Amino acid sequence: MDQISNPTPPRWPSLFLRWYCHPDYLEDIEGDLIERFETTTRVKGVKAAKWNYTKDVARLFRPGIIRPLSGSYQLNQYGMFKNYFKVGIRNILRHKAFSIINITGLAIGIACCLLILLYINDELSYDRYNKNFDRIYRVLHVYRNAESPGTLPPPSPEEFQVWGSAPVGPALKADFPEIESYFRFTSPVELLFEHGSKRFQEDNMVFADSTAFDIFSWNLISGNAKTALKEPNSIVLTLSTAMKYFGYDEPLGKTITIDQTETFVVTGIMEDVPSNSHFTFDGLISMTTFQIWRPEIFDAWGYVDFYTYFLLKENTHIESLESRIPDFIEHNGPEWYKADNTIALEPLSDAYLHSKAARQPGTTGSYTNIYIFSFIAAFILFIACINFMNLSTARSMERAKEIGVRKTVGAQRHSLIGQFLLESILLTILAATLAIALIALVLPFTRELSGKALLFSDLLSWQFTLLFAVSILLIGLLSGSYPAWILVKFKSSQVLKGNYKTSSGGTSLRKVLVVFQFTLSMSLIVGTAVIYTQLNHLRTQDLGFSDDQMLVIDFGWDGAVQRQAESIKAELKAHPKVSKVSASRAVPGAFFPNAGTTIESADGEMIMHNPGIYEIDQDFIPTYEIEMAAGRAFSKDFPSDTTQALIINEAAARLYGYTKMDDVIGKKFTQWGREGTIVGVVKDFNYKSLHTKVEPLSIRYAPSNSLRHLSLKVSADEMNTTISDIEQQWAHLVPQRPFIYSFLDDSFNKQYEADVRFGKIFTAFSGLAILIACLGLFGLTTYAAALKTKEIGIRKILGASLFSIVTLLSKDYIKLFIIAVLIGIPISWFVMNRWLDGFAYKMQMGPGVFFVAAFICIFIALSTISWQSIQSALRNPVDSLKDE
């Protein structure tokens, strides 16, 4: 009854009011609120009064009534920050050298980080333009054969390949209702395109299913996405290809003649495939065209020339399909396929960075490289922050008296920390502004260096903007936190008496940070040396064939050239600068197929494997100077060579169980409709990239319709004239075909473009990292020399030599550099060994690499500190002592 007759305001709102309300206003406000509460209770009741009281307390929570967070109640926050800002600007201008070093180092560090972040973002963005990115998968295939079917262990990821057969896609769609749609496309085909007077050999056209636009988010500018690839002899061109033939005219419905025989109708124009796609093309030809040309291969599980992708229905888990793959193989695969061959399903998200499968439809990236560049970005930014901390703590004695005076007049610890953190953030903002200007300046060079379409506009997205703003704030706080903590520890009574010194802890920390910087600098120098030595090793490696001055003409399967190959070879060989000419389907470093090949084993059993296949003429092996390990090469003296002979390499002989190469000569074989005997074994030659060991290869005499390349061994003398003469001969001999040529060593080395690009990027950012480290070292040396100015003057008066003074200023750093080198050697050895594991043929990292890197590292460091040391040693001692 007492509570009803004498109600009180609610407890929690009252506590909240007393917590936030300014003490000067609390008594009056609380009294008014209680009075209103009592009045409302009488009129409307207790419940309504408590509710109104709570609302009134909430409404009063506003500026002017809230108590100050700390310090004096009359503190003008704006004035305080204005003062911090003025003092910060004055300190930056007063110490121009240190400010320039800090701002420049931080700017380079931030710019490098943002550029690397753009590069990494591009690498991680591959294929994500597809709206169904998470539901797209592709089929991987493994083709292998055991002496006893079913005895092989499960295949490793490296044994799979993306290249497969045509019937797998339709079979998957029929057996798995979870699959919404499938899409197949072939390897790129080389076709001669003509429209009016324009004629080009197109090397990146693919045959594709009509479901292309159902699965991939390619933007069709004109045409019907559902029907554009349904009819035979229809073609969809990319915009850049269409512009090449039609300019600004409307291409839809117009015709293009292919290989001078077939007429194709342009049924669609699409935007160019985005650069961040794991495969690209210049046009899509309807798969129905290919089915008319080669109907038998669409039911052949052993004919490999297709890439198969499919789209899962929504809310479907891929695991449910993977568990049923064995049953799928058993139900659909032919008998020869079932024992040791299978398929796997790979998400589109793994295609570019994670896939280990062979026969990729395009280039692949490297997650290792992303980790390396991320590390370099973090290192560059970290050493920039270290430089700031080192220079700030080293200058602590100069600011000690300022701290002492501030503390004496009543400055609190948090206000001093705020002052120095604001200075740090101010420096960081200036550095960030300079970094943006640097990025705008160097971005075109970065695009060329990385081979990527990096755009400045990507930095203006809200994600990048938010990340940039937060990062700048964090960098400023982290860089300034330790110096601020050191500075506010000074005791004002001792500082004002001049009784203070730099703490041993701060000195030790600076030494540790210098060692850390140059340990990583040493590692980066070793990394750069190893990368370029390895690339040079690849260029000078004995490939097992002659690629010097080898001119390769690509005539794109032209039937007229194939039929007249021998006479064209004779005409070209008649040129005085041409010593040898051969014809073949493939050349080293170029595309080649695989062939199911059965060879008789030592005990008479016929064993089938899937080695690569080269189809050549009798002049190929002599032209490329490939050595025979056993038997003989093809020869016109043996007419049966054209249909009944096979040559294999040493790797293939070992694959079929032979250790002595002579033992396989005369053994029976069957391959692609041919039967006969093995007539020769060539020594292993590197027909593929040196990233991999030499793989099994079969070599057979080419039927005329399998030829595509002519290889000419030419003299190095008067090369331009020779090429001009050959081009004129070609125009006379093959007027219907453009003269497309390359030098084999150049085209073979294109396989290492990604490695060369990686080396250039690594070197560029490593150089910048070392530059930032040297900037910090220069700043520390400058400050150390300033502290010892009078000591140096006294030593000079007492007769000290220039060398002894330079040694005085440098000896402590030399010890640190030696420690850094000793730590950096094992780190760099471990990291670069891991990188070299990506090559089958790799250099040996001997002690010379580390010796040279250590010498370069110490030389750079000494050069940095020597300039300032010599400057200090050469000063007139009178100037350094007159102000004592």
Over the stretch 673-705, which tens digit does the pLDDT of each residue have? 899 999 999 999 999 988 889 999 999 999 988
Residues contacting 8, CB < 8 A, separation 6+: none
Percent of the chain scoring above 70 in pLDDT:
88
The dihedrals phi and psi of 227, each to the nearest 5 degrees, come to: -115, -5
Nearest to 799 by CA among 877, 695, 693, 684: 877
What distance in Å separates the CA atoms of residue 284 and residue 291, rounded to the nearest whole number? 14
More confident residue, 630 or 367: 630
Tokens encoding 93: 């201008």
**Which of residues 216 and 778 earns the better pLDDT score?**
216
Asked whether the predicted pLDDT for residue 874 surpasses 80, the reply is no
pLDDT category at 73 given cuts 50, 70, 90 is: very low
- Contact present, 734 and 568 (Cβ < 8 Å): yes
The Cα–Cα gap between 622 and 51 comes to: 101
CA distance 98 to 30: 56
Reading the block at residue 720, the tokens are: 């331009």
Q: Let me know: does 681 contact 629? Beta carbons within 8 Å.
A: yes
How confident is the model at residue 1, as a pLDDT? Answer: 39
Q: What is the pLDDT of residue 147?
A: 60
The pLDDT tens digits for 494-530 are 555 555 555 555 567 677 878 888 888 888 889 889 9
pLDDT at 3: 43
DSSP 839: -
Cβ proximity of 611 and 698 under 8 Å? yes
What's the pLDDT band for 69 if we cut at 50, 70, 90? low
**More confidently predicted of 736 and 668:** 668
On the question of pLDDT at 311 being above 80, the answer is yes
Whole-model pTM: value is: 0.76
Note the pLDDT of residue 2: 42
What is the pLDDT confidence band of residue 401, given thresholds at 50, 70 and 90?
low
| Radius of gyration, CA atoms only, the chain | 38
pLDDT value at 386 more than 70: yes
Overall average pLDDT of the 285-304 stretch: 93
pLDDT over 90 (residue 205): yes
pLDDT tens digit sequence for 224-234: 999 999 999 99
If you ran DSSP here, which 8-state letter would residue 282 be given? S
CB 385 within 8 A of CB 478: yes
Length of the chain in terms of residues written: 884
User: What's the rounded mean pLDDT across residues 190-197?
Assistant: 91
Higher-pLDDT residue of 701 and 445 is 701
Q: What is the mean pLDDT of residues 759-781?
A: 82
Mean pLDDT value across residues 37-63: 88
Average pLDDT, the chain: 86
Q: Hey, what are 501's tokens?
A: 């010194």
Q: What is the mean pLDDT of residues 32-39?
A: 90
Distance, in Å, from the CA atom of 791 to the CA atom of 256, rounded to the nearest integer, reads: 86
Question: For 11-22, what is the mean pLDDT?
Answer: 87
| Percent of the residues in the chain that have a pLDDT greater than 90, as a whole number | 43
pLDDT of residue 71: 47
Instruction: State yes or no: pLDDT of 761 exceeds 50.
Output: yes
pLDDT at 75: 45
pLDDT greater than 60 at residue 70: no
C-alpha to C-alpha distance for 437 and 13, rounded to whole angstroms: 53
Calpha distance 333→327 (Å, rounded): 10
Q: For residue 251, is it left (φ>0), alpha (ψ between -120 and 50) or beta?
A: alpha
* pLDDT tens, position by position, 629-642: 999 999 999 999 99
Query: What pLDDT is recorded for position 414?
Result: 67
Contact 308, 211 (CB under 8 A): no
The yes-or-no verdict on residue 413 having pLDDT over 50 is yes
Residue 602, phi then psi, degrees to nearest 5: -60, -30
Alpha-helix runs per DSSP H in 144-237: 168-175, 212-215
Phi-psi region of 230 (alpha: psi -120 to 50; beta: other; left: phi over 0): alpha
Q: Has residue 491 got a pLDDT over 80?
A: no
Label residue 484 exposed, middle or buried (CB < 10 Å: 0-12, 13-18, 19+). buried
What are the distances in angstroms from CA 641 to CA 277, 492, 635, 637, 700?
44, 99, 7, 9, 8
The count of other CB atoms within 10 Å of the CB of residue 678 is 25
Q: Which two tokens stand for residue 139?
A: 């089929």
Band the pLDDT of 212: cuts 50, 70, 90: very high
Position 574 scores a pLDDT of 95
Around 409, how many Cα atoms within 13 Å sit in the side-chain half-sphere? Answer: 7
- Cα separation of 792 and 871, whole Å? 11
Place of tokens 């499960």: 154
